[in-house]
Amino acid sequence: MIKVEPSIFAADFTKLGEEAKRCADAGADAIHFDIMDGHFVRNLSLSPKALAAINRSTDLFLDVHIMVYNPFEYIEKLVECGADQITFHLEATENIPETFEFIRKCGVKVGLALCPETSYSLIPKYLDKIDTLLLMTVNPGWGGQAFITDVLDKIRFARKTIDDLDLKGIDIQVDGGIDDKTAKLCVEAGANNLVAGTYLFKGDMKAKIQELRL
Ligand code: DX5
Ligand code: ZN
């Protein structure tokens, strides 16, 4: 089963509550919520307060992708504001095991993200600690960028390792430049969780989600 998560970063920020409801009505599996600190990526996005507002507008699972240095410092606040999963970047901290542990202790799911250039070889030792492996298909920080095809090899490799180790509960998520065409490539390579911003928020979201699941 392919899961689809609209990235709220592409929503109309003048009506976040309505946009969250739109995702639920369209049959989304979760809302993907980006947090950026202006340092790990040179952009800013939405705040924990906006996450709390979305949490009041919908019962959908809130999957929070944090593109920040020192992710540890943000976890408690995000959980308090409604995060159901927190995905942090491997490149952003030296304290990966401690960060996993703390996210778990706060009672939410754990995701680990990799930028397109980062080698998959660093991942296998962490697989038994995570619920989601996010393989970025653009350089993080902005919506509307072109999909980086090279990441497909990494997706294939991740799928093979996860299947070989019989860790089927782990989602392989892709984020960036996902549309009907790139989604198919990712699913063929082994991804089962598709994040899409620009593509889903333009036009008929329900029809597009169904198309992505095909
Ligand atoms: C980028 C964010 C994405 C972004 C995706 O750093 O992590 O979630 O919103 O946007 P699209 O789907 O437009 O590439
Ligand atoms: Zn994201």
Does the structure show a pLDDT above 90 at 214?
no
pLDDT at position 181 is 98
Q: What's the pLDDT tens digit per position in 168-197?
A: 899 999 999 999 999 999 999 999 999 999
**194: nearest Cα among 1, 12, 5, 40:** 5
| Residues annotated catalytic, as ranges | 34, 175
Structure tokens at 135: 């393989």
Average pLDDT score over the chain: 97
Residue with tokens 């889903």: 200
Ligand whose nearest atom lies closest to the CA of 65 = 2
Q: From 115, 195, 200, give the residue whose CB has the most ligand 1 atoms within 8 Å, as the site to mutate.
A: 195
**Count: domains in the chain:** 1
| Structural domain boundaries enclosing 92 | 3-213
SS3 114: strand
The Å distance, Cα 160 to ligand 2 centre, comes to 24
Mean pLDDT of all residues in 117-144: 96
pTM, 2 dp: 0.98
The Å distance, Cα 177 to ligand 1 centre, comes to 7
Q: What is the DSSP letter of 123?
A: S
pLDDT at position 168 is 87
Residue with tokens 């754990």: 110
Residue list, ligand 1 pocket, CB within 6 Å: 7, 9-10, 32, 34, 65, 138, 140-141, 143-145, 175-178, 195-199
Does the structure show a pLDDT above 90 at 85?
yes
A 10 A CB-CB count for 204 gives 11
DSSP assignment of 189-212 = HT--EEEESHHHHSS-HHHHHHHH
The band of 41, judged by pLDDT with boundaries at 50, 70 and 90, is very high
**88: nearest Cα among 72, 105, 77, 104:** 72
CATH number of the CATH domain containing 61? 3.20.20.70
Q: What is the DSSP letter of 53?
A: H
Q: Which atom of ligand 1 is nearest to the CA of 141?
A: 6
Dist CA 94 CA 76 (whole Å): 19
Does the structure show a pLDDT above 90 at 99?
yes
The Å distance, Cα 140 to ligand 1 centre, comes to 7
**173: nearest Cα among 46, 1, 36, 4:** 4
pLDDT at position 35 is 98
- What burial letters (b/e) apply to 111-121, b meaning 16+ CB within 10 Å? bbbbbbebebe
Crossing angle of helices 151-164 and 180-189, in 10° steps, is 40
Length of the chain, in residues: 214
Query: Which range among 90-94, 120-124, 137-141 shows the weakest confidence by mean pLDDT?
Result: 120-124
Does the structure show a pLDDT above 90 at 48?
yes
Residue nearest to atom 10 of ligand 1 (CA): 143
